[in-house]
Amino acid sequence: MKITAIRLTRLSLPLDPPFNAAWDPAPRIAFPATLVEVETDTGLVGVGSGDTMDGFAAYEHLFLGTDPLQILNQVRRIETINFHGGRYWPLEAALWDILGQVAGLPVSVLFGGARDRLPAYASSGELKSPEARADSALAARERGFKAVKIRIARHRLFDGIAAVRATREAVGPDFDIMVDLNQMWRMSGDIEAALPLAQVQRIAGELNDLGVLWLEEPLPQADVVGAKRVRAATGIQIAGGEMVRSMAELSALIEADAFDIYQPDVVLAVGLYRARQVAESANLRHRLFTPHTWSNGLGLLANLHVAAGVDAGPYLEFPYDPPGWTPERRDFFMEPLDIDANGDLRVPHVPGLGAQIDWDAVRRYTV
As a whole number of angstroms, the distance between CA 266 and CA 90 comes to 9
Stretch that binds Mg ion, among 105-113, 140-148, 155-163, 178-186 (CB under 5 A): 178-186
> Per-residue string for binding with Mg ion, 192-231, x by CB under 5 A?
------------------------x---------------
CA–CA distance, 74 with 69 (Å, rounded to integer): 9
CB atoms within 10 A of CB 28: 16
**Residue 333, CA distances (Å) to 17, 176, 263 in order:** 19, 31, 25
Please state the closest distance from residue 242 (CB atom) to Mg ion, in A: 5
Instruction: Give residues 317-336 in contact with Mg ion (rule: CB under 5 A).
Output: none
**C-beta of 101 vs 183, nearer to Mg ion:** 183
Regarding beta strands 45-48 and 28-40, do their DSSP bridges make them parallel or antiparallel, or are they unpaired?
antiparallel
- Name the residue with the smallest CB distance to Mg ion: 180
Nearer to Mg ion, 216 or 223 (CB): 216
Q: Alpha-carbon distance 49 to 89, whole Å?
A: 8
Q: Which is nearer to Mg ion, 141 or 151 (CB)?
A: 151
Instruction: Specify whether the CB–CB gap between 4 and 357 falls below 8 A.
Output: no
The torsion region of residue 333 among left (phi > 0), alpha (psi -120 to 50) and beta comes to alpha
Q: Could you tell me if residue 235 is left (phi over 0), alpha (psi between -120 and 50 degrees) or otherwise beta?
A: left
Closer CB to Mg ion, 223 or 242, in the complex: 242
Rounded to a whole number of angstroms, the minimum distance from the CB of residue 243 to Mg ion is 8
Per CB under 5 A, contacts with Mg ion among 232-271 are 242
The count of residues in the chain is 367
Smallest distance, Mg ion to C-beta of residue 317, A: 8
Q: Which of 39, 92, 180, 321 binds Mg ion (CB under 5 A)?
A: 180
Residue 101 or residue 124: which is nearer to Mg ion going by CB?
Answer: 124
| Binding site residues, Mg ion, CB under 5 A | 180, 216, 242
